[in-house]
Structure 1
Amino acid sequence: MKDTAKHQGLRNQLVSTLQQKGITDLRVLDAIKKIPRHLFLESSFQDYAYQDTAFPIGAGQTISHPYTVAFQSQLLEIKKDHKILEIGTGSGYQTAVLCTMGAKVYSVERQNELFKKTSALLPKLGIRPKHLTFGDGYKGLPTYGPFDSIIVTAGAPFIPQPLMAQLKIGGRLVIPLGEDVQVMTLLIRKNETQFEKHELGEFRFVPLLEDKN
């Protein structure tokens, strides 16, 4: 698993691209500068890893555009040691960004194939989330809540009620909402019953899967 000076140069270029597209959070940019995205991709895509593009990662899922990862991460306003719930571990790249930013990450993945692959990969890269689990993202992880922030990395038709319940007061929930095209939505919990909602542009995600069993 090599990470070369050439890869670092390509990451520096990617960070410049993200800055031009409006990413300003230096801790997000620093994490993207450090993490070898090519190691999260299948070998046939590795040469293109630092383009701002999504790629298939198996099980009908994709690794998001670096801009999308950066945009969602920036919206979370992460502080060191924040407890973050991630719905959709996927390739583990978003997980790695959050961990590198100093967050304590609890992540749920619905696809067993990806869960196994990512659980093996992250420790090899020195990335240590607090908890990875195979399960239904719609339910969240009530045992470990409440969370400072929650990030959903797949398109959801609605905001799952359990996720809202697991968010701390003052916490931020970032979720792409919609069927074909999603609207990036930020919810900020004001108190027990009130949430402030912001809609922040259109994106495309694979759908958030529910446990049908």
Structure 2
Amino acid sequence: MTQETEAAVAEESVPVLPLRPALEAVLMVADEPQDAMALASVVGHPVADVEEALVALSQEYTAQDRGFDLRNVAGGWRYYTREAYAGAVEAFVLDGQQARLTQAALETLAVVAYKQPVSRARVSAIRGVNVDGVMRTLVSRGLVAPSGTDETSGAHLYRTTRYFLERIGVTSLDELPELAPYLPDMDDLEDELSALAGPGVEEKARAAENGPSSPTEPDSEPAH
């Protein structure tokens, strides 16, 4: 068998995913609008076919009166909740405002407060976990808000809001306590973190070292 034949057989053996379901799956997890070219490179279909499928999906959702809509905004496609059901979405969001923040959310909020403006990727790197879901919760609570983009990477930046200052009882970020006096020596850092975070920290640290580097935290906070 020649090299050309082997390459042809290998290419034919690669499964081609159905276009529409593949687009739906990708757009379901996309945090920002995606253009047809970017989507085509991911799903492995021609750009023209992708554009046609996106329009067809959008029309299909409208014809079926689905609770969500697929829109082409600012040159990119993204899912949005349909305006007719804004009342239900608003009730859900406002109800979530009554839930207390989890430890994960409080830690993420602290990183934003001291590192702002900061990208989600930077917060994830500092905390060692994927913080996308927690950041969405903080934004929906009005504690964190977008603050432009990074000039180098183009990543969206976030900072705390005036509502955050009101909730913690200060008038400006200058009133936040200095961190340096509370940071232990490197030799004592592990013990200090264990004492502050409670039992099980060492086990979690070992699991993080042996498992995936960026586990994902829940998207929402449970009510208490």
- Structure with more helix by fraction: 2
- Structure with more strand by fraction: 1
**TM-score of the superposed pair, with normalisation by structure 2:** 0.22
Whichever of the two has the greater Rg, that structure is: 2
